[in-house]
Amino acid sequence: MILTVNLNPAVDKTCETERVQPGAVNRLKSAVSVAGGKGINVTKILRQFHMPVAAVGFLGGAGGKLIEEAMEELGVECHFTKIKGQTRTNVNLLADDGSVTELLEPGPIISKKELEEFRKQFSGCLEMCEMVVLSGSVPEGVPVGIYRQLIEECHANGVKVILDTSGEALREGIQAKPDLLKPNLKELESLAGKKIDTRELFAEEANRICEQVGKLVISLGAEGLFYIDRNRGASQEVYQEARKVKAVNTVGCGDTVVASLCMSELSGDDPETALQKAAALAAANASTMENGQINMKTYLELL
């Protein structure tokens, strides 16, 4: 069983428009709402590969109901904590020129009682899980060090952890040494505190972070994926180019990479194979309208 943690899930509203014009009326050609947020996207991908998945986190209001029903339809074992607040809605604007503009709500405020209930659900689920995926932002009311605390609890129970977050939650989480860290270039720059614009600086910062966590996969968007591992005695580095497709919606591609890496970790894939699968799956995700939804035929062809 894989456990996905969804502290700040969202209803993803994907809208198509001719162009996005700031300060003007923007008329939409279509609008579709689906279950989303980083952890939910990971969950959706894992279930497409028939992986057994349990999900915990916070859900509230009509949006929360939509997400839970979608997860149950996929066969996910749901252990969500119900909250008084409303699950947020994120808007993704897809323009005809291929650009994607994301409008992300901050999310609900979590009470102390709701947080305590979540921790109980999380602890109970650990007993049946081999891998935990921690991804996404942290809502107000939840301590910024929550991922560090959860990683420590996972390791105390012999459970592996993948971490994919940003900002202070990322800085805190690194301290607990997740088994695999998946930042993008912008998040790597945030950790470095400076712009990374040369190969030398990229290698320097990647190695510095890897010394803290052991294994690191950096997603570089259209440039591909970079893997670095310090757990095998000698340093191991692998680069994988991105698969070239006509991008329809790039939202969720990083989450797709996380889901693929999770499956590779469990199946014991070598780094080259793991990155090939992740790159192919991310490209397949980019070629579909719904984030976290891939065409298996496209994926296999790309692979």
Contacts of 268 (CB under 8 A, 6+ apart): none
Cα–Cα dist 142/169, whole Å: 11
Contacts of 52 (CB under 8 A, 6+ apart): 1, 2, 77
Residues making up the chain, counted from first to last: 303
Would you place residue 244 in the very low, low, confident or very high pLDDT band (cuts 50, 70, 90)? confident
| pLDDT exceeds cutoff 80 at 233 | no
Instruction: Specify the pLDDT at position 160.
Output: 96
Local structure of residue 247 (DSSP, 8 states): -
List, as one string, the DSSP characters of 25-93: ---EEEEEEEEESHHHHHHHHHHHTT--EEEEEEE-HHHHHHHHHHHHHTT-EE-PEE-SSPPEEEEEE
Q: Could you identify the residue written with the tokens 């490209």?
A: 283
2-20+27-302: which CATH number, 3.40.1190.20, 3.40.50.11540, 3.30.465.10, 3.20.20.60?
3.40.1190.20
What amino acid occupies position 33?
A: S
Average of per-residue pLDDT across 240-268? 92
Instruction: Specify the pLDDT at position 106.
Output: 87
> How far from the centroid of its chain's Cα atoms is residue 124's Cα?
23
Instruction: Specify the pLDDT at position 212.
Output: 86
| pLDDT exceeds cutoff 70 at 254 | yes
Reply yes or no on whether 255 is catalytic: yes
Q: Give the pLDDT confidence of 266-280 residue by residue, as tens digits.
A: 999 999 999 999 999
Tell me the pLDDT of the chain averaged across its residues.
93
Q: Give the pLDDT confidence of 178-207 residue by residue, as tens digits.
A: 999 999 999 999 998 999 988 889 988 988
Query: What does the radius of gyration of the chain's CA atoms come to, in whole angstroms?
Result: 18
Instruction: Specify the pLDDT at position 234.
Output: 55
Q: Give the pLDDT confidence of 165-179 residue by residue, as tens digits.
A: 999 999 999 999 999
Local structure of residue 133 (DSSP, 8 states): E
Q: Give the pLDDT confidence of 107-154 residue by residue, as tens digits.
A: 899 999 999 999 999 999 999 999 999 999 999 999 999 999 999 999
Q: Give the pLDDT confidence of 51-108 residue by residue, as tens digits.
A: 999 999 999 999 999 999 999 999 999 999 999 999 999 998 989 988 889 898 888 9
Average of per-residue pLDDT across 214-229? 92
Please identify which of the residues 12, 179, 229, 255 carries the catalytic annotation.
255
Local structure of residue 241 (DSSP, 8 states): P
Instruction: Specify the pLDDT at position 248.
Output: 83
Instruction: Specify the pLDDT at position 132.
Output: 98
Instruction: Categorise residue 268: left if φ over 0, alpha if ψ from -120 to 50, beta otherwise.
Output: left
CB 107 within 8 A of CB 138: no
Instruction: Specify the pLDDT at position 232.
Output: 60
